[in-house]
Amino acid sequence: MRESMTPVTESRASPVPGSIPMGVPDAPAGGASVAAHPSHEARFRALVRDHLDFTWRSLRRLGLPAETADDATQRVFLVASQKLASIEPGLERAFLFNTAVRVASSEKRSFARRREVLAGDEAEGLRDGAANADELLDQHRARTLLDDLLLGLEMELRTVFVLFELEGMTVTEIADTLGVPRGTAASRLRRAREEFQAALRRHQAQAASRSRRT
**CATH classification code of 154-214:** 1.10.10.10
What would the pLDDT profile of 115-129 be if each residue is shown by its tens digit?
Answer: 444 444 444 444 455
Q: Which residue has the higher pLDDT, 52 or 206?
A: 52
DSSP-assigned letter for residue 205: H
| CA nearest neighbour of 147 among 98, 109, 187, 177 | 109
* Candidate CATH numbers 3.10.20.30, 3.90.1150.10, 1.10.1740.10, 1.10.10.10; the one for domain 1-108: 1.10.1740.10
Whether the Cβ atoms of residue 149 and residue 203 lie closer than 8 Å to each other: yes
Torsion sign across C-alpha atoms 54, 55, 57, 58 = positive
pLDDT of residue 187: 96
Q: What is the pLDDT of residue 78?
A: 93
pTM for the whole structure: 0.61
Determine the pLDDT at residue 135. Answer: 65
Contact between 144 and 115 under an 8 Å Cβ cutoff? The reply is yes
- In degrees and rounded to multiples of 5, residue 62 shows phi and psi of -90, 5
CA dist 9 and 61 (Å) reads 9
pLDDT score of 29 more than 70: no
Q: Tell me the domain boundaries of the chain.
A: 1-108, 117-151, 154-214
15: pLDDT confidence band, cut at 50, 70 and 90?
very low
